[in-house]
Structure 1
């Protein structure tokens, strides 16, 4: 059987569609990739109205409703994106839309135990830039041919916007999901441990799978074979 479905993906704070270029190329025919614009990017470049995760997922749920009813889909979130995807899944369930076939997370603990973004809300551009240097390889951030290069200042502004949105977030308990959750950790990711990622298990009554893969925090930008194989299995 052929793969047939949609992957809806949310990047880490500061990121955008460009972070999924390698993944898009690696996806098989029949598997569509959708990366919604977050505030400060694409069609939301000048969007200053969204002030919280709740407001963001309300808008995203409206925007993505056709995808939920078009066919089978998977949600994927990396770091900040995992928080957005988690709350979006809850909103999808509240509205009675068809649920995702699976939820894929990486680079961040679940919202009930993760550190608050409030600590970063007052950071200067220099501090945020230092954070980028820590989480992304120097050649990707600073190199002439890196993914950021001259766009470094823009990414810092986007990072600040994401932090502002997440800073007021407080986890509210709801019933757990009953769908499969896949948690990925790049071997070179120093920001989170395997055991911390495995705590996502408590957020589903369905199957839970932990994957240790090559690469760093954003492993899917360079080596996404294992992720693609899992997506093919879920959506075939």
Structure 2
């Protein structure tokens, strides 16, 4: 039997290769999420945008690897491989929920250590990093964690309805919640990249003022986009979000001044 061919990248997946794209969008999944969470968005975006999606350790084809338990560890792991993937093309970062925190830390690493800073940072469904809000979800037993996943409606129902699959993903979910819930920074932690925060107007986990507080974490431009819905408004409004990403990223690749690294 021929062994499976390993992916070209350990950390990143490209579902729709677009070698002639003008910009790369690097996506960081939410707690418990895998790279496949962004397959549909990748397919929907136009030919000028190529999507790279992080595959965190401890899930799917990386299930035998130990999970990482902090946001800085996740950002460092992604950073170590990402540099070579974005050295020759402008890029932006997009993270949802825990992925928003990972994207912020990744942007900080890229601005400090190169090879380049992201043109834009999109943070979706995540409070500003200086606002702590530990709900202790990581301490729930398996049944409690299962109910939390069902409540958030962000996990594939096929997994929730299959006990064997659920047992496989719960360790990664628990580790991710530990990373997400314990992460926060000082109020003066900033990036130089412009930031667009996306929020759901009925998100019980991220109040609009907590999303708006991202304004204090960039020395560049800031915008807040609010969508109808709860924590996973991203799924319900994918066409509108794809249009927002397309328009914003096209603007960043037009000739003109580009945000550089902060002094």
Question: Which bin holds the TM-score, normalised by the shorter protein?
Answer: 0.7 to 0.9
Q: Is the 8 A contact 1:10 1:85 kept in 2?
A: yes
Partners of 1:175 and 1:188 in 2: CA distance: 27
Match 1:162 to one of 172, 176, 190:
176
Conservation of the 8 A alpha-carbon contact between 1:5 and 1:71: yes
Tell me the matched-pair count.
229
CA contact (8 A) 1:75 1:104 kept: yes
Matched, 1:83 2:97: no
Q: How far, CA to CA, are the matches of 1:174 and 1:44 in structure 2?
A: 35
Change (3 A) 1:233 1:3: farther
1:39 aligns with 2:57: yes
Q: Which moved more, 1:48-57 or 1:122-131?
A: 48-57
Within the candidate set 217, 221, 246, 1:207 is matched to 221
Partner of 1:232: 246
Structure 1 residues 52 and 134: alpha-carbon distance in aligned structure 2, compared to 1, 3 A threshold: same
Q: Does the 8 Å CA contact 1:22/1:220 hold for their aligned counterparts? A: no
- Can you give the 5+ residue segments of structure 1 that lack an aligned partner in the other structure? none
Q: 2:139 aligns with which of 115, 122, 126?
A: 122
Partner of 2:150: 133
Contact 2:21 2:50 (C-alpha < 8 Å) held by counterparts: no
Q: What secondary structure does 2:58 align onto?
A: coil
**What does residue 45 of structure 2 align with?**
27
Q: Distance in 2 between matches of 1:110 and 1:217?
A: 15
Whose relative contact order is higher, 1 or 2, with alpha carbons under 8 Å and at least 6 apart?
1
2:122 to 69, 92, 104: 104
Which segment drifts farther, 152-161 or 80-89? Answer: 152-161
The whole-number CA distance in structure 2 between the counterparts of 1:220 and 1:135 is 12
Structure 2: runs of 5 or more not aligned: 1-19, 251-263
8 Å Cα contact 1:39-1:48 kept in structure 2: yes
How far the C-alpha of 1:106 sits from its partner, in A, is 1.6
| Partner in structure 1 of residue 203 of structure 2 | 189
**Residues 72 and 235 of structure 1 are in contact (CA less than 8 Å); yes or no, is this contact kept in structure 2?**
no
Do the aligned residues in 1 keep the contact of 2:97 with 2:124 (CA within 8 Å)? yes
Q: 1:61 to 1:55 in 2, by over 3 A?
A: same
Paired with 1:166 and 1:216, the residues of 2 have a C-alpha distance of 18
Report SS of the residue matched to 2:47: coil
Q: Deviation at 1:53?
A: 2.6
Shift of 1:81: 0.8
Cα deviation, residue 170, structure 1: 4.9
Task: Provide the rounded CA distance (Å) in 2 between the counterparts of 1:126 and 1:172.
Answer: 34
